[in-house]
Amino acid sequence: MKSQPTELHPLVQEYLHELHVLRQLSPHTLKAYRTDLMELQLFAADDSVELLKVSNAHVRRWAGRWHAKGKSSRTIARGLSAWRGWYDWITEKAARRDAQTGRARVKLSANPVDDVKAPKRLKSLPKALSVEQALALVNQVVQEAEEKKDLESIRDAAIVDLLYSSGLRLSELLGIDVMQSKDRQHESAGWLDWDAAEVTVLGKGGKRRSVPVGSPAMKSLQAWRGLRDSAEYAQQSSALFISATGARLSPRTVQARLRTLAMRAGLPTHVHPHMMRHSFASHVLQSSQDLRAVQEMLGHASIASTQIYTSLDFQHLAQAYDKAHPRAKAGKG
């Protein structure tokens, strides 16, 4: 059995001391560096190779071992960064010092960690509501608006209905004006075409797109517009969605309102505006299977950004399989 190092290499200790004194890294960061560099020593000892004779092939092999042990891409990337920094320090700092004394203690032709990257991080799937959850939320909000008939409730219903109907980003939603402005100095970022039941918004990269609005959402929007236009303070604002003072709504207000409304609807998760966008995309894709149409409605520049929703669709099918297929049920018995 190979003996394992229990203490840090003197050059590693010197490096950590410099990070502490000169760069004044936090104790937490220094601890992470210490852990990662000790891992380097352990790998080197296990393969019977000196730290200053480690090759690019060694580093690739050790990164692979980390991956095989289930280390996350982020953890591996952090470790490789620590190793790379240490070898850079040896080359740039220690070698320079040795040159000044005339004694070449360190011989390192190239950084062995160069060009070694951690495995690609698996892209996390966006969180979306189920169809049942989305409908429960929208129905709850619309019902409250019909019962209370106050400005906030009717406005909330229009916002939630439009988010789910058209898959807008929060910034796009808040940029909508009641009507398109013809004034070049005050050009509208977005607007509603009330006759065509279509909303035009300014998306990422300054690209405009028009998205259809469903009839239930148009009904909620018409109810909100009627109440909005009757308020005196609304005459000074072109914004579709305004506060009780007539100011265009802020992102934080919409986020807080949606969170509260979701809790009232009994949803077991934190709901935010972008989740409504994800839900829209996933549910339309489940029904239509038209990836290009969903791409256009979301305003994605690349189809690859839209394809992630096919994974959500597969998850939906997998859940349906687990619930309904006889073989899936048998496997759980």
The set of catalytic residues is 169, 204, 274, 277, 300, 309
Asked if 51 and 57 count as a contact pair (C-beta separation under 8 A), the reply is: no
In a 3-state reduction of DSSP, which class is residue 183? coil
CA dist., res. 77 & res. 63, Å (int): 9
Answer left, alpha or beta for residue 248, where phi above 0 means left and psi between -120 and 50 means alpha: beta
* Contact status, residue 281 vs residue 296, Cβ threshold 8 Å: no
What is the spatial order of strands in the sheet that 198-202 belongs to? 176-177, 190-193, 198-202, 208-212
Pairing outcome for strands 176-177 and 190-193: parallel
CA angle in degrees (0–180, nearest 5) for 16-5-10: 35
Residue 33, H or E segment: helix 27-46
Q: How is residue 34 written in tokens? A: 């210490």
CA distance 153 to 139: 12
Q: Which element (helix H / strand E) includes 82?
A: helix 73-89
Return d(Cα 250, Cα 241) in angstroms, integer: 9
Radius of gyration of the chain (CA): 29
Pairwise CA distance, residues 81 & 33, whole Å: 9
45: its two tokens: 């000892």
